[in-house]
Amino acid sequence: MMPQLGETVTEGTITRWMKSVGDSVERDEPLFEVSTDKVDTEVPSPAAGVLTEIVVPEGETVDVGTRLAVIGDGQAPAAEPAAPAAEVQAPAEPAAPAVSTSPPPPAATPQAIRAEVVPPAPQAPPAPPGFAAQAPSEQDETAEDGMLLSPMVRRLLAENGISASQVRGTGLGGRINRADVLSYIDAQYANGRPSSTGTAPSTLPAAAPSAPVPPAPAPRAPAPTQRALVPTAGDSVGPFSNVRRRTAEHMVRSKQTSPHAFIAAETDFENVERVRRSHGGRFRAEEGFSLTYLPFVARAAVEALREYPHLNASVAEDSLVVHSEVNLGIAVDLDYEGLIVPVIHRAEEVTLRGIARRVRDLADRARTRQLSADDIAGGTFSITNDGPFGTYFTVPIINQPQVAILATDGIKRRPVVVTTADGTESIAIHSVGVLGMSWDHRAVDGAYVSAYLRRVGEILGSRDWAAEL
């Protein structure tokens, strides 16, 4: 089946089969390569056996869950020789009398099976203003310059009057994927011009002359409180990119699924800041990157989940699945074009330095589209980190089917009240930030989340981080 390669990914393109029909394949042996908007990766075989059928050929884009191939045990008897094409296509013989014992109809051909399994390609969005539309080409999957293109990519290129040579491919081997085409379209709008084959708009694109058609029904008048949004001169109008559409679908689904609630707590990071000041230079020399606040927060968050395990959970229908392992997802920004959440598996077994290394590695590979399927699967709890941008208060959306997501915001030097050794109070300057959590009210209540955030703050303020580092 087409695997789910990321929370917001709903489809993928088969870019290469590594085995042919009749080849033996071992369990976990690389079977095919798949390309999505966020990941290009090899997918291992789920079982050992013989590849008896490839249902989805290279270049096809299909939905998650679509059957791609069949692996058998290699023990089935050889199939009957296929009838010549002329015989297969010949008209059927007249029906025999009821008493006749005619053979059963032949089994469906592979083409027929494929037609039943593969869903129709999704309908392409309407051509944006200023782009000359044309009928999709009926050629095969190879573009005129020899590049292999999926049907969806060819359709987008044709409907928007774009040549494949105009688009820079970011897929495997420089292959053009749908995101590349949509990015090209977006760039044309941003530059104030359509593709070279389109017609440049003036202020708003004028309607092209067309043959008379029957008048369409009058549109329903909007409610009195609604106003139709009409672009004005100087406005930039362009379609959402594929990544933005998929992110929107996932976020809307999450809001519709979970009764979201939010709690935040101000947290003292002075204990962490001392370690960063005293050990930061050595850490950077040893590791090649800076020691940020995020590994400390991640380590404390994972440690606190031992005491509050119902936040390391997922909702399955009417049940709460409390996970025994903490698979920590870290949201990574893809150059302002979208998000992906790679996972640190079994994070409860990883030290502070190990978490820092893994966060850095996953972020680097996410931005270069080098994550594997395992890197983005199985998350049980997530952290989103807007702190580097100096934010104060972030309310994130839950990463389904998880029940909680922790947000870390900017940490600033502020005056705080502290208790001295003799019990008196004093004013000191500490590094202070806000930790916030969005959580699913079906799973837990506010007191549970508040106690968890307090425990995270206690760990950050009391742990001997220098020794662990």
Active site residues: 441, 445
Q: Which two tokens stand for residue 464?
A: 């001997």
Strand partners, 433: 267
Contact 398, 258 (CB under 8 A): yes
Contact 429, 273 (CB under 8 A): no
Contact 33, 42 (CB under 8 A): yes
Largest CA distance in the chain: 108
Task: Say which residue the tokens 């999709």 belong to.
Answer: 136
Residue (of 22, 469, 6) closest to 283 by Cα position: 469
- Which value, in Å, is the radius of gyration of the alpha carbons in the chain? 28
> How many whole angstroms separate alpha carbon 62 and alpha carbon 56?
8
Following DSSP, what letter does each residue of 5-56 receive, concatenated? -STT--EEEEEEESS-TT-EE-TTSEEEEEE-SS-EEEEE-SS-EEEEEE-S
- Please count the residues of the chain: 469
Task: Say which residue the tokens 């109809």 belong to.
Answer: 105
Residue (of 317, 377, 373, 366) closest to 343 by Cα position: 377
Contact 326, 383 (CB under 8 A): no
- CA-CA-CA-CA dihedral for 420, 423, 424, 426, to nearest 10: 20
Instruction: Provide the 3-class DSSP secondary structure of residue 247.
Output: helix
Q: Which two tokens stand for residue 147?
A: 């590049």
